[in-house]
Chain A
Amino acid sequence: MAVKNFVVASFDDEAVLFPAVKKVRTAGYKIHDVYTPFPVHGLDHALGLRETSLHTAGFIYGITGTTTALSCMSWVFNSDWPLNIGGKPHFPLPAFIPITFELTVLFSAVGMVLTFCYLCQLMPFVKKHIFHPRQTDDLFVMAIEVTPKTNAEELKAFLASVGGQQINEQKAEAGWWYGRYDREDRLFEQKAGTVNA
């Protein structure tokens, strides 16, 4: 992504936030994101976000685990090194169930968490712009991108009219970069090439 201009407004109550989101969207402004300290149910729909497909990914990882376990165990017992263990069959399905189940769960959980981190760009040493330090505490922070067509002053006045507080303009990197939170990175003064997508 790139460095962009944002108009940022804070809300201190979900009850004000929801109507505000609706009004901002109806007015035709494009909400970059709303940052909340906890999952606010229904906000994703209010913002017009589609449902996540993470569950589907989890299911696919799960059946991958199932097939991996079953095929590996039967390959070992039947083809690679068939061993007579007390005269037991070479394909003892009931005895395979526990490990098959465990691997299904393991693959699904690990795969989903990695996918989650990939989709949300979460990783140690990853840094993102924080629009308001209290967006992880008690404020709901709405960031609206300022395009060449946007009248920033008008937008600020509009946000104030729908209940926004501490309205300001910020120039910020919209994506992520490698960085440390104890240092102030002024990315917009650097060359564009150092910024990751």
Chain B
Amino acid sequence: MHLKYESTLREPLVDGEKNYHQVTEDIISPIEAKPGKLWYVGFFISLLLLAFGAFSVTWEVYYGTGVWNLNKTIGWGWDITNFVWWVGIGHAGTLISAILLLFRQGWRTGVNRAAEAMTIFAVMCAGQFPIFHMGRVWMAFFVLPYPNTRGPLWVNFNSPLLWDVFAISTYFTVSLLFWYSGLIPDFATVRDRAKTKLRKLLYGIASFGWTGSTKHWQRHEALSLVLAGLSTPLVLSVHTIVSFDFATSVIPGWHTTIFPPYFVAGAIFSGFAMVQTLLIIVRKVLNLEEYITMGHMEAMNKVIVLTGSVVGCAYLTELFMAWYAAVPYEFDTFYKFRAAGPLGWSYWIMMTCNVITPQVFWFRKMRRNVAVTFVMSIIVNIGMWFERFVIICTSLYRDYLPSSWGYYRPSWPEVGFYMGTFGLFFTCFFLFAKYFPVIAVAEIKSILKTSGENYKRGMEQYEGQSAEQFEKGLHHDDHHHDTHGAVAHAHN
């Protein structure tokens, strides 16, 4: 018997014959094994990318931002595009762990750990761009409000760019705390079954002396719940504030009130796509298909088609408003410089990848197809990259002064910088996949007896019963426990 009951109509969240020990075994043993050849190849490629990125950034810092193809007309190019893109990707993790926790979505337990890790790494990548865009990067600390020797001249609290500093750093800190507080009990699991001294030592340090005491779990649950409650508005605020960078300006194509919800939906859209890309590989390589099931992927694909459609509506709203507002500059930006003009191709890539192709997910067969999901997840992220490129560059490359009109293509240090952040992201992710429990072990155990396939099978005998039969069975069950049976009955 078990203390909670879930209908067998719901798809199991954990497939196969599992018990608590088997869950530990499945998720922790990849940490204890030597990584495969593929891991080394992937890790080495990531390190190479990271090194090339470091070289490009050093080049830029040494010679100045002039080595980027930015100029008076196009002040923001690939750098801010990449910044917004990475921040957007960093939204899925907290959405999964926080909002889905508040909505009591059980399927989040299979994917939240990896998604949160992805969030943290993506925000780390995002942060690089505005910092190095400053040019004199050694003065980056000027953005912090601290009593200084320059007056003291403070930062401008009215500026959305400063709000961004607060939003991104708060988001990073809170995500990190949320992620790590969930990792502590799992590190303790690794520690207590460790055979080697080094592993005992390192995971002993990382687990902070966790024992699994009931009181500690009670506080841990309270902490997770409140952090989820805090992160929910936080995750919405972050991309809202990023959108303020544009929306509070007077540039045609940016000066619009739908930006906050439009950006947030886009962020969730691209974030879930990135989660799919990573998890499809992780579940295959680490043999975790029984924990990250087709049901999990279908649920995420549903989120993708929903947010993709929200984004699509926003695109159409923008087009409508550009015409309806009767402002010639807005009209020209949308109809002459975005949908047409020298950079018009990027607009149509965006439209195709974000609005048209995700519609395949209205079909259940497509949602539950690994290959389709994988390809779509990459298409969506290409589309979302182009969305940011379109918003930033097509609004800038033809400004109010036709004599300054130009075209924009990145120089090699810009491309190198972007590739370098991929290197950073994947280096971190490879290390995470090797040394961290990629699935929240304790959380899977807490849903196992309600949502595990073998336990659900044990419920079938009860579902056909009448209330009277069930009642009788309860009293019988009090004296006789069978390991697989499960009846909703709480002991007080």
Contact = CB atoms under 8 A, between A and B. Distances in A.
Given A73-B157, A181-B191, A112 B2 contact: no
Contacts of A14: 2-3, 449
B3 A42 contact: yes
A38 B446 contact: yes
B157 A135 contact: no
Interface residues of A, number: 77
A167 interface: no
A41 B490 CA distance: 10
Contacts of A182: 197-198, 200-201, 204
Given A42-B3, A182-B201, A136 B212 contact: yes
Interface in B219-243: 219-223, 226-227, 230-231, 233-234, 237, 241
B181 A37 contact: no
B209 interface: yes
B134 interface: no
B209 A99 contact: no
Nearest to A129: B211
A138 B201 contact: no
A72 B153 CA distance: 14
A110 B193 CA distance: 31
A45 B158 CA distance: 49
A37 B156 contact: no
A58 B230 CA distance: 10
A181 B204 contact: yes
B259 interface: no
**Interface bin, chain B:** 35 or more
Contacts of B415: none
A99 B157 contact: yes
A26 B122 CA distance: 53
A98 B21 CA distance: 46
Contacts of B152: 80-81
A88 B152 CA distance: 20
Contacts, number: 230
Contacts of A49: 214-215, 218
Given A101-B237, A116-B220, A122-B184, A138 B24 contact: yes
Contacts of B244: 98
Interface string A165-197: 000000000001000111000000000000000
A128 B212 CA distance: 11
Interface in A124-143: 124-130, 133-138
B481 A109 contact: no
A77 B267 CA distance: 33
Contacts of A112: 223, 226-227
Find the residue from A73, A101, A123, A180 having the highest chain B CB count within 10 A.
A101
Interface in A97-115: 98-99, 101-103, 105-106, 108-110, 112-113
A173 to B, nearest CB: 12
A107 B333 CA distance: 42
A38 B230 contact: no
Contacts of B491: 18-19, 22, 46
B172 to A, nearest CB: 10
B177 interface: yes
B222 A52 contact: yes
A33 interface: yes
A46 B162 CA distance: 49
Given A88-B158, A105-B170, A124 B214 contact: no
B247 to A, nearest CB: 12
Nearest to A32: B213
Nearest to A163: B481
A72 B216 CA distance: 36
Contact of A16 (B4, B200, B201, B481): B481
Interface string A54-80: 110010001000000000110011001
Contacts of A37: 20, 24, 185, 189, 212, 441-442, 445
B230 A122 contact: no
B213 A38 contact: no
A110 B217 contact: no
A34 interface: yes
B473 to A, nearest CB: 14
Interface in B341-388: none
Nearest to A125: B205
Contact of A135 (B145, B192, B209, B481): B192
B209 A180 contact: no
Contacts of A45: 492
A35 interface: yes
Nearest to A177: B209
B156 A85 contact: yes
B391 to A, nearest CB: 20
B445 A77 contact: no
A29 to B, nearest CB: 16
Contact of A85 (B158, B160, B201, B446): B158
A180 B209 CA distance: 9
Interface of B: 1-4, 19-21, 24, 145, 151-154, 156-158, 160, 162-163, 166-167, 170, 173-174, 177-178, 181, 184-185, 188-189, 191-194, 197-198, 200-201, 203-206, 208-223, 226-227, 230-231, 233-234, 237, 241, 244, 441-443, 445-446, 449, 481, 483, 490-492
- Identify the 3 closest CB pairs spanning chains A and B, nearest first: A181-B204, A138-B20, A126-B209
Given A49-B215, A92-B158, 13 more contacts: A18-B491, A38-B217, A43-B214, A45-B492, A47-B214, A49-B218, A52-B219, A83-B154, A102-B166, A133-B193, A138-B445, A180-B204, A181-B204
